[in-house]
Structure 1
């Protein structure tokens, strides 16, 4: 089923409150997979590519004969960048649809809105997004990168390249606030100085006063953890002020919504970022995946980023666990996932760490040139060391908490 981004978003928005989009034949013996993402609203730049790769994963699974001789039925919900809809649809997916697994959420706020609901209904939950770390939940598998895997790489790289004085701008919610503290830790550990930290609500579009402050502070570079469509304005306004030639930018978020395609080459050239995936990842699985995606969607194929690829790989990790367990039931599937299950995907080998239910993964630093990411450094099999400071599901499988404060304290940040 091939749907362009424009038609996909418009279609799901129109029917979001009436009925979800269901892909696959409705069968009484089907294995049910639910996805809840922001396909419209301010966060659709992230959600639309994630939905495309989720669909592709389910199509690949079914094309290979399904799971255990049964078809996987995908139900897509559009949360419309609204927390209330996340809660509503998580309840519907778990209690109404009786989904075997739910892959859902983009922001940390959306994850924390639905995680307790899915835990209460004992519905297996995957969060396939890079985030600030700290979730410790037996029922929840987090496949995205965390600060110890990516922020710890891009901060010292930027300091070595540009200098040790840093100015931080970040989104004003859990991810931005906590990641900014990790940034300051890594700046200090590498002998640098954080000149200032500023936070911005997701709907802010005017960054003129902050750009003036950056000009006055004269850092060696800016680190950005800005989020969403509105915050793309920062990069446009920064370039328009002639700042890219004076004070370069590194980011922990720019590119996971394909923001590099929303600004001109001149506005983005030279930006650094670190993620668990870039399209330039040099391995045969990635090359075959991109070729297949292009053949399927043509010019409508979105640029692949960590969020999109983790959505695909998260679905595939779950599928491998169902096959290993011999059932789609939650308990045996969790046991299979926590056995150290690995999947060789477009990003490389992704392995579930049973202590944290997070992933060890390859990590890359990319530099933007003419709207394309070029990988300048790679790191293999990086563990989720930050979450491991506070989470041990082997010792305490009954945990179901978000331990970010404990994680910051354990890392010596607070």
Structure 2
């Protein structure tokens, strides 16, 4: 497979004379490859998780091409590494659309990186496929959201934690958009159900292990029932290690998260991660033939010791959703392609998923897992069917029904 990688290039600002070009690939008889953009950080503090998103994307592209491509044409990604710098995502998105003439982009983990790309794809009428859980309260005709929104993870997690551990929560987050907004949602859920926030601390996205020491000391002093973490990247590893170093017990006061996956557990150490809780649409241990095949292919491609995770899985299935829609319209024109994407379903490793035409978000499964000593998650609760995307929490007053799990 031809993989056009520009990993080490610095972002540039293309001339204004070409910025207004309309990018499209109308239906035509040609064998030229379909060129798509890929924006995931393979270096920097976010690479611990974004590398797996890159791998999920790469695996899906290879599968599509091995099956004959789309309409007989190969998918060729043009990839840039933003190096965990949010501003670089915007620069590279502009380069992809203006210089590389790419209209469809797969990428971004943090909300700040998505926010950097959003005005670019909206101005130039591109299409961003975003495979990461996020804080919700956004909808753009130029974004397909394939990660979970709050009604697909936060509601069920809050209910499980309050029922199992108690009502006093301590918030720890990285200091940017997603953690603060996710904590706002969680705070409202707690308030509505008789819970409380007994502490709230934020760290720089570049935080090191020593930055978490005073936070853990404060947690020991306050003695909450649950620690709710929205720390991301390498900071996740440092938080959990600091927790383990002072001898706190996850059986009594676990760290619960929406962002801690098998990738972070592997980085921190299986013993460090054991017993902590994550809400996700997907875990590697999900039962089903689609997931078994996905895990087998992923490990064969990237190494037997590499685990899949919710972000890699979303990156994988969204590429297949894209290929399915592209096969139908035979065009990368954003308006034409988007109309076909809405309502499209795919038998993903997590189970059947559908791009909800009401919001451009994806109907996903809801699961709660507890990490075990093997670095995997034991699923302790899951939805009976995909949960409809409700990014603006319109059904917030019916939280227990919308986010209920068996």
Question: Does residue 113 in structure 1 map to residue 106 in structure 2?
Answer: no
Q: Residues 372, 329 of structure 1: CA spacing in aligned structure 2 closer, same or farther, 3 A cutoff? A: same
Q: Distance in 2 between matches of 1:130 and 1:54?
A: 16
Question: Does residue 96 in structure 1 map to residue 99 in structure 2?
Answer: yes
Deviation of residue 28 (structure 1)? 7.4
Q: Distance in 1 between matches of 2:45 and 2:186?
A: 25
Q: Could you tell me which residue of structure 2 aligns to residue 337 of structure 1?
A: 341
Alignment match of 1:74 (pick from 77, 99, 119): 77
Q: Could you tell me which residue of structure 2 aligns to residue 352 of structure 1?
A: 355
Q: Distance in 2 between matches of 1:285 and 1:28?
A: 31
Q: Is the 8 A contact 1:2 1:297 kept in 2?
A: no
Q: How many residues align?
A: 372
Decide which moves more: 184-193 or 218-227: 184-193
Q: Could you tell me which residue of structure 2 aligns to residue 297 of structure 1?
A: 302
Deviation of residue 97 (structure 1)? 1.4
Q: Residues 375, 2 of structure 1: CA spacing in aligned structure 2 closer, same or farther, 3 A cutoff? A: farther
Decide which moves more: 113-122 or 240-249: 240-249
Corresponding residue SS for 2:120: helix
Q: Distance in 2 between matches of 1:31 and 1:137?
A: 24
If the length of structure 1 is used for normalisation, what is the TM-score? 0.85
Q: Residues 267, 388 of structure 1: CA spacing in aligned structure 2 closer, same or farther, 3 A cutoff? A: closer
Output the aligned Cα RMSD.
2.2
Q: Distance in 1 between matches of 2:195 and 2:278?
A: 19
More strand by share: 1
Q: Is the 8 A contact 1:86 1:113 kept in 2?
A: yes
Q: Distance in 2 between matches of 1:199 and 1:18?
A: 30
Q: Is the 8 A contact 1:35 1:76 kept in 2?
A: yes
Corresponding residue SS for 2:151: coil
Gaps of at least 5 residues in structure 2 are: 13-29, 396-406
Alignment match of 2:237 (pick from 232, 253, 256): 232
Q: Distance in 2 between matches of 1:276 and 1:54?
A: 18
Q: Distance in 2 between matches of 1:243 and 1:295?
A: 37
Corresponding residue SS for 1:292: helix
Q: Could you tell me which residue of structure 2 aligns to residue 189 of structure 1?
A: 192
Q: Is the 8 A contact 1:355 1:388 kept in 2?
A: no
Q: Could you tell me which residue of structure 2 aligns to residue 326 of structure 1?
A: 330
Q: Distance in 1 between matches of 2:86 and 2:391?
A: 27
Corresponding residue SS for 1:191: coil
If the length of structure 2 is used for normalisation, what is the TM-score? 0.87
Deviation of residue 302 (structure 1)? 2.9
Q: Distance in 1 between matches of 2:369 and 2:68?
A: 37
CA deviations on 1:283-309 (whole Å, 9 max, x unpaired) are 11000111122223333x631111111
